[in-house]
Amino acid sequence: MSSQPLQTLSNVLRGVIDRCVLTKRQEQIFQEELTKHLSDVLQRPEENLTKIAEVLASRGKQSLFEKILRETVTKQERLTKQEAEILDKEMAAALKWSCDYEKAYYGKCWKSEKKRKAFDFLRNWHNVAIYNKESGRLAEDSERLHSLTPLTSALDALDAEFFKGLAIAVQLLNDRIYNSKNPNIGSGDQYLNKWLLEYKLAVAREPAKHSPRELNEQFVSKFHTMTVKKLHEKLHEFHVPHKEEPRGKASPNYGVLLNLPPKRRKTG
């Protein structure tokens, strides 16, 4: 069972996306962006609550954010001591998910704040380009100039660390897109660890729906090649909710003939 904080974040994620009119690829990118914002809130709540409010406001969902915030504060004020202790443990689990996600998301840029900023700049530039192409519109010059703000600020400051991070980010994102079996899914960055942690948040709001085999056949195999056994190990590594594979007659392998060597006849 997922922790209550992850379930709450999952409900926010799905609730916002369901209310937006987007193409399939835009929805995939928006889900990735919201997942990152929610992870940021867990890591640095005071700094990032305003950012996620801005994202929701840009989609016309400011009232939804305010409602969720009010309900969350009210619930916390009414908690008993035992409930508060349980919530603390669940928050620890949610923070563990967030730390794992940050590492998978940023890769080699993870440990440096300036390199993370460079990675964020590149990903935003890349995602906006896809988003606009899906919408069939050209970005205004003012929009493009605004998107370049982190780059121009780094130029003004002669920020060598930022540009080292940008070079790493370009290579990292290029490798992830190149290595994907289908680079047209979302941003094209379908790095397995990152995808599994995004999936973990997306399904936290409901009981586990997929076995490792079903997860592989319906999702993972579309962008990554791996055995069901290896995927099962990954699910346990990141504590991703899943159904166990059916056994006995319910197993998909039940009744499959084994190619055994012929038995030797006894002589004498």
Kindly report the backbone phi and psi dihedral angles of residue 142, in degrees, each rounded to the nearest multiple of 5, phi listed first. -65, -35
**pLDDT of amino acid 9:** 72
DSSP conformation class of 180: S
239 torsion bin: left (phi>0), alpha (psi -120 to 50), beta (else): left
**pLDDT in the model for residue 101:** 95
Q: Report the C-alpha gap between 49 and 29 in whole angstroms.
A: 20
pTM of the predicted model, to two decimals?
0.76
pLDDT at 18: 75
DSSP code of residue 60: T
Task: Please list the pLDDT of the chain residue by residue as tens digits (268 residues).
Answer: 456 667 777 777 777 777 778 889 998 998 898 889 888 888 776 565 566 666 556 555 556 555 655 555 455 556 566 665 665 677 788 889 999 999 999 999 999 999 999 999 999 999 999 988 998 888 788 888 888 999 999 999 999 999 999 999 999 999 999 999 999 999 999 999 999 999 998 888 788 889 999 999 999 999 999 999 999 999 999 999 999 877 655 566 555 444 555 556 555 5
Got the DSSP string for 85-128? Answer: HHHHHHHHHHHHHHHHHHHHHHGGGTT-HHHHHHHHHHHHHHHH
Domain boundaries along the sequence of the chain: 4-206, 207-255
Alpha-carbon gap, residue 144 to 215, rounded angstroms: 38
Element of type H or E holding 149: helix 149-156
